[in-house]
Structure 1
Amino acid sequence: MSKSHAANRDPASIATLVSYADVDFSAHRMSDARNGYLQVLAAYPHNAHALHRMGLVCAYLNEMAEASVYLERALQAAPTSAELWEHAGLVAALKGEYAEAEAFYRHALHIAGSTATLHRNLADCLRQSGRLAEAKEHYEKAISIEPNLHYAILAVARISSELGETVNSASYLLRAWMLAPGSLRDGLDLITALVQAGREDEVNDVVELLSKRYANDAEALRFISGTLNENHRYADGLRLARRGLSIDLDNHFLFYNAARALWMCGRTRECFPYAMEAARLWPDNDGKSVQYFVSCVQLALGDFFEGWKRHKIFYTYQSIANHLVRPEFPEWNGEQVAGSRFLYVLHQGFGDQIQFLRFAEWLHQQGATVDVLVDPPLAGVAASMTGVRTVYCYPSVPNGPYEYWSYMLRIPEYMNLRISMLPIAMPYIAATQERHEHWRTYIEATAARTACAKKRRVGFVWQGSPNTANDRFRSISLETLRPLFDLPSITWFSVQKGNGEEGSTVLADEFDVHTLGPLIEDFSDTLAILETLDLLITVDSSTAHLAGAAGLPVWVFQPAYSEWRWLVNRTDSPWYPSMRLFPQRELGQWDTVIEEVREALLEMSAEEVHADR
């Protein structure tokens, strides 16, 4: 009997027609299935099965409005069908109607009780609505019913990551990976999660599996090496970038990944050819970051001519330009400045601004009348400079008039700066007499020279801003510094300011340590304190620049990663003649450096103390 000629209301014929339509539906012949179900509904308009299937056929054909109508009619015909309520929820979710979808799913759960698919679908809906914690709860319920539900396990992992639950995210990602090592993205996410959770040992197995699976896929190796670099696994990142380059020597990302790994390991000279090749291969309209990176490598290697010329690309970053002031009068491009009024615009971190303040002196020496624009905490020290007429502070920008203005990083190129020209001016900042006397009196009352004529006064800073890139490698824990604090004949003064400034107070019961951070208002206070001390020992921080700019003795813990301003293989700095660098041999390993500083302190303690400090 032909489907199209079934008797209108003969139950047997209708059953046969439904059977044919179901076969077409299962085979995804949706046009044929639609015709069959419509014939059924012509005879039996309230047939719940035909209405249900018509809703699904319309959803399959992306006819969502019609799908909703048919499912609504089906629910009127069979209101106790949990499957119908669930499918109505799926269609509502596909339409972006998440509140309605949630109501449908919850009603289905009320009828059928917990099922893995219902909890999973409800979780999907909640996740789309941004209700991550609730979504996670229902995914976990689905997993409790079906422990190997890979989709839900992966979803919990990703939601946990979004919620900042790094340990939970790592556990679920690893669980999903053990069930079925998935896509490249899953592997990369797992590496990141394990590193963030502190489960470094388990990373090795994932890296090994990925490196074998994608051993001949240069593009995959690009992503793997990049992820390893982002997670500070530089040795593996370098190894896999080089493997990728053995397959594809035209892949600019792989050259860049290799260069970044070498840079972070302090292997600057090895880094340079990789960086240059990345810059050569990178598309012209998308290579700003690599060009800036190359400039940093060139500067670190002492090539100031090429480095500063390329460094100006920094100001073409839209994200940078959007946050910088741009005065309306002419920008300086290297013209003669004698007799001109010049606004020198400083920016970036406090340390950068202190380092580049010296060029205000150079501009003054060339005959310009110089005003500077700095962040408010630096106003006092900037005002101490003999070559500066007026100090202005963000967010105020002076109206002028000025003949020229310039950002700080543009000055070196146009003045044709060479290493031999440094330090330009020294010292170029000083504390006011009033603050100097205030802090000299305070320090003398705390650690009087007369009480112990050979007692040294040493300041220390153990961490920089946590918002700075690579701060995890430059900051040092107080516990790591303990071998220094028990040295005899030294009184220690913490000049740590800002984040964690009171952390050193716990040392006072055990060592001769005084915490000054809470008493410090700005850099002028810090500078006045440093002028009363014999030495500052610090991580690479703004306080290091402050002491160096004032010509005061400062020892700097230098992490192993490359840093353009400190150049390569030096323990001194042409920028700051009073500075001594103590570099790491291996990234993250401070023990040897601490021992070297301890030995240097013992040597210093044997020398005569200067009574004028």
Structure 2
Amino acid sequence: MSNDSTAQPVIDIPLIERMLAANPRDGGAWSTLGVLLRRAGKLSAAAACHARGVSFTPGHAGIWSNLGNALVDLGRYDEGIAAHRQSCELAAGTVTSWFNLAIALRKVGFFAEALEALDRGLALEPDNASLQWERSLAALQMGDYDQGFAFYEARRGIPAYRNRLPSGPAWDGGPLNGRRILLSTEQGFGDALLVARYVSLVKAMGGTVLFECHPELRTVLSGLPVDEVVTAGADYPAYDVYASLMSLPRLLGTRYDTIPAPTPITIPTAAREKAARLLGPRDGALRVGIVWSGRVTFADNARRATTLDRFLPFLEVPNTRFYSLQKGPPEAQLAELGTSALIPALGPQFDDFADTAAVIEQLDLVIMTDSSVAHLAGSLGKPIWNLVQHVPYWIYGYEGDRTPWYPSMRLFRQGRDENWDAVFETVKRALMEQAVSKTHG
């Protein structure tokens, strides 16, 4: 389901601009231009176009909804929610209006209200997979795992997810009695690390386990009790039943207070020796690894990530040594800020997650914004301070400084203003306390 109500991908911006030159009071054309500008990342201009649209066509529910989308993207949540509510009032029978309102409410943290909006939409279309999926995310964020995991299966009806799932008989969670079960991966590295903890429970059900694994994770997950590893993206071998890794929490009855311990991580001796060379001899200082961005192609990375310059005040804390675990394009910020001598760049030396894990194992602390490395450090049981956005990934819930998924992880949360300043000030104070403790410990 597109959350732009007048999306018309075959129409380009110059054509709409010509239409508006001929008729500048065409509210629908203004909103269509706004949709195209939003797709191009020009959010302020998009919001202005939609606002112009509703000024000429105030009774059009779709234009109000499009305005709400653009305002929410800009972080103007109160205005965006108000626009979505206006859309719902004008079109009480439009599923898209309720869907867009629910997304806006969830992004602010109004989960109960988001569920109410989704229920209104589901009353109109009970089988709508997008509404069910959004309901899953809101319920999981609230810690309602029974409802959340049940609706999580709705992703099978969403094209972006449907294409990643195998075909054939799906496992129902019961005894396998010698059958061959394929455990397929469908999402990113972090999700694979998160739910690898369930593989041993599946093996205990008495079957032959075929485990689909990203090549980058193969070494660190080599200790899992599987019978065959299938490279992610390769053709599947013969199997009797399958289960997506992300379906295992539901199939194995996970509740908030029954989450299995993280999976053990395998680190080869060669990786440990490499890490020792990269880090050098210990000198009594607090060794801290940092990561400031996840995968840049991830849709929500702009909200969960930040920039290296925010970490620089940490370098002023006495008795600390910092190491960059960052990989990908954001690595360039080390050279741009002139910090290469202050923060050795270890990311380019990592061939796979085993190299990263070996370094983390020899650090005292990891400070980072959320990404797959957080799952790796959490699985290793190393102290990790995860700096998370206002409404983060659902395993972190919505309040508190701990997550039951990773006992060694401490959470530092943004406020509703989504400002990182207060977060980094709090982290610096905590780091100073940690460094003093290290000095006198």
- For Structure 1 versus Structure 2, the TM-score category normalised by the shorter chain is 0.7 to 0.9
Task: Give the C-alpha shift of residue 435 in structure 1.
Answer: 1.2
- Greater CA radius of gyration, 1 or 2? 1
- Tell me if the contact between 2:278 and 2:346 (Cα under 8 Å) persists in the aligned partners: no
Match of 1:380?
Answer: 219
Which residue of 431, 447, 467 corresponds with 2:267?
431
The answer to whether the Cα contact below 8 Å between 2:174 and 2:205 also exists between their aligned partners in 1 is: no
Shift of 1:360: 0.4
1:300 to 130, 136, 141: 141
Contact residue 43 and residue 70 of structure 2 kept, 8 A: no
Please show how residues 179-258 of structure 1 align to structure 2 within 5 Å. 180-190=24-34, 193=37, 200=44, 206=49, 208-229=51-72, 233-258=76-101
Aligned counterpart, 2:118: 275
What is the alpha-carbon distance in structure 1 between the residues aligned to residue 428 and residue 177 of structure 2? 49
The residue identity in structure 1 corresponding to 2:136 is: S
Residue in structure 2 matching 1:585, options 399, 408, 415: 415
The residue aligned with 1:335 is 174
Alignment of 1:530-549 (within 5 A): 530-549=360-379
Structure 1 pair 582–371 and aligned structure 2 pair: CA distance change class (3 A): same
Residue 341 of structure 1 deviates from its aligned partner by 4.5
In 2, Cα distance between the equivalents of 1:429 and 1:199? 42
User: C-alpha distance in 2, partners of 1:188/1:610?
Assistant: 63
More helix by share: 1
Per the alignment, residue 392 of structure 1 pairs with 230
- Note the aligned Cα RMSD (angstroms): 3.2
Match of 1:309 among 137, 150, 156: 150
| Cα deviation code 1:233-287 (max 9, x no counterpart) | 5433211111233344333222222111122223333322112222222364xx2
Q: How far 1:511 moved relative to its partner?
A: 6.3
Superposition deviation, residue 192 in structure 1: 5.7
Q: What is the CA-CA distance between 1:230 and the residue it aligns to? A: 5.6
**Alignment-derived partner of residue 249 in structure 2:** 412
CA apart distance, 1:215: 3.5
CA distance in 2, matches of 1:302, 1:610: 39
State how far apart, in whole Å, the 2-side matches of 1:235 and 1:610 are: 48
* Per-residue deviation, 1:584: 0.8
Q: Equivalents in 1 of 2:91, 2:38: separation in Å?
A: 29
Quick one: distance in 2 between partners of 1:254 and 1:609? 57
SS in 1 for 2:187: coil
Q: CA deviation at 1:535?
A: 1.1
Correspondence list, 1:65-144, <5 A: none
**Could you say if the C-alpha distance between residues 367 and 428 of structure 1 is closer, same or farther in structure 2, counting changes exceeding 3 Å?**
farther
In 1, Cα distance between the equivalents of 2:324 and 2:299? 24
Q: Does 1:449 align with 2:282?
A: yes
> Secondary structure, in 3 states, of the residue corresponding to 1:361?
helix
Bigger relative contact order, structure 1 or 2 (CA pairs below 8 A, ≥6 apart): 2
* CA distance in structure 1 between the aligned counterparts of 2:104 and 2:251, rounded to whole angstroms: 32
Contact 1:342 1:368 in 2 (8 A): yes
Give the whole-Å Cα distance in 2 for the aligned partners of 1:251 and 1:198. Answer: 27
Distance across 2 between alignment mates of 1:532 and 1:584: 29
Change (3 A) 1:371 1:477: same
Deviation at 1:558, TM superposition (A): 0.8
1:323-354 deviation per Cα after TM superposition (whole angstroms, max 9, x unaligned): 4444x6x5311221365543322221111111
> Can you give the 5+ residue segments of structure 1 that lack an aligned partner in the other structure?
1-129, 131-153, 162-171
Distance 1:317 1:179, change over 3 A: closer
Q: How does 1:382-531 map to 2 (within 5 A)?
A: 382-385=221-224, 387-397=225-235, 399-400=237-238, 402-422=239-259, 424-443=260-279, 445=280, 448-450=281-283, 453=284, 455-507=285-337, 509=339, 512-531=342-361
Q: 1:209 to 1:547 in 2, by over 3 A?
A: same
Partner of 1:126: none
What does 1:586-601 align with in structure 2 at a 5 Å threshold?
A: 586=416, 588-601=418-431
* Partner of residue 5, structure 1: none
The one-letter code sitting in structure 2 at the alignment partner of 1:420 is D
- In 2, distance between residues paired with 1:438 and 1:420? 38
Amino acid at match of 2:26: G
Residue 403 of structure 1: CA displacement?
A: 4.9
Cα 1:234/1:514, change in 2 over 3 Å: same
For structure 2, which runs of at least 5 residues remain unmatched after alignment?
1-9
Deviations 1:500-535 (A, max 9, x none): 334324455586211011111011111111101111
CA contact (8 A) 2:286 2:438 kept: no
Give the alignment partner of residue 290 of structure 1, picking from 131, 153, 172. Answer: 131
TM-superposed deviation, 1:232: 5.5
**Is 1:158–2:14 an aligned residue pair?**
yes
CA distance in 2, matches of 1:306, 1:340: 29
Quick check: 1:382–1:429 contact (8 Å CA) kept in 2?
yes
**Aligned mates of 2:319, 2:21 — CA distance in 1:** 57
Report the alpha carbon displacement of residue 594 of structure 1 after superposing the two structures with TM. 0.9
Shift of 1:206: 4.9
Distance 1:581 1:300 in 2: 15
Letter in 2 for 1:547: A
Residues 351 and 240 from structure 1, CA distance in 2 versus in 1: closer, same or farther, beyond 3 angstroms? same
Percent identity at matched positions? 26
Q: Give runs of ≥4 in structure 1 deviating > 6 Å.
A: none
Change (3 A) 1:595 1:270: farther
- Give 1:40's aligned residue: none
Q: Give me the whole-angstrom Cα distance separating, in 2, the residues matched to 1:342 and 1:205.
A: 53
| Aligned-partner Cα distance in 1 for 2:66–2:46 | 16
Structure-1-length-normalised TM-score: 0.64
**Is 1:345 aligned with 2:184?**
yes
Change (3 A) 1:499 1:224: same
Distance 1:552 1:371, change over 3 A: farther
The residue number in structure 2 matching 1:82 is: none
